[in-house]
Structure formats: C-alpha cells, structure tokens
Amino acid sequence: MVERGHGRGGLPKAGGPGAALWRAANRWQRVQRDLLEPFHLTPVQFLLLLGLDGLSARGQVTQADLAVHCGVDGMTTSQQIREMEQKKLVRRDPHATDRRAVSIAPTRQGHQLLNRASPVIAEAEKAFFGALGADAEAFAVALGLLTGEKPRHRVAALRAD
C-alpha cells in the first residue's frame, strides 16, 4: 500500500494510516524530547507531572489514579514517579483514607518546573498540529476513538464535496 506524499529522493512513503500515525507520533515525540531536554524531563514525565498537577488540585492522588488519568501503564508510572521523586519534583505521602496506598503530589519545585515547561510544549503543540487547521479538534477526537475513548461531543465528519 502506498500513501500520498513522498519520502526522500521523491520515493512514495510506505504504508497506510498506521505507518503515517507511527511517523507522526515519532516526529511529535522527537519535538517534545528536544524541547523538554533543557528542563531535564522526558515526555512521559511531563505528561505525568501535568496530570498530577491537575488531579492533585481535587485531592489526594494515588499512582493508580495518575496512571489511568494519563493513559500510562502502571509500571512506567511507578518508574517515572520514582525518578521524579529523586529529582524532588514529586513527593509521596501516606494516603488519608487507604493505609495501603500512597498519595503523590507535585512539590513546589515540580510545580515551578511545570509552569516553565508547559508554555513551551503548548506553543510546540500549536505549531505541530497547526497544519491541521480547523480539523485539529476532529483529529484529536479521532485519535481518542482509536484509543478507546468515547467522544465528549459529536464532531462533524469531513466531506469531500
């Protein structure tokens, strides 16, 4: 299967939608890695810290809560929380109602780092997905559908008139 567009040397790019998604995801990851490197954060650490910051405003957050909220597997979440704890970006506290659980929260340092990194990533996201123009929201909904999410509202399908 050959998709439209050309690769190096004018050759057609290989693969269908899956290959295109893989290339786009790799490119986006590379952009994030490059931008987050000066902050000493990986893209998954940024995602978890961002998710933790949002969830912790509502109350105590367990590692399992954070993993589900961010769509990151439990083992990766555990490893990344440990690394961020060593960097003093998050802290672990006893959970108020579950003696078996630990509550995690961003530290002041973690919150400050997130406040510096977030605008950089937000601008990069605008630039990266800007090529989609008005279709960016529909694209995000479509990606959500592919990951098993239910759309929050209906998005009109694109029509070829």
pLDDT in tens, 103-153: 999 999 999 999 999 999 999 999 999 999 999 989 988 998 988 887 766
What is the sign of the dihedral through the CA atoms of 134, 135, 138 and 140?
negative
| CATH code of 51's domain | 1.10.10.10
* Residue 34 belongs to domain spanning: 15-131
How does pLDDT run across 135-147, given as a tens digit for each residue?
998 998 899 898 8
pTM listed for this prediction: 0.82
In a domain, 139, yes or no: no
Total of domains in the chain: 1
157 found inside a domain: no
- Report residue 7 CA to chain centroid gap: 27
Task: Identify whether 150 is part of a domain.
Answer: no
**Residue 63 belongs to some domain of the structure:** yes
* Position 31 in a domain: yes
How much of the chain, in percent, has pLDDT values that exceed 90? Answer: 65
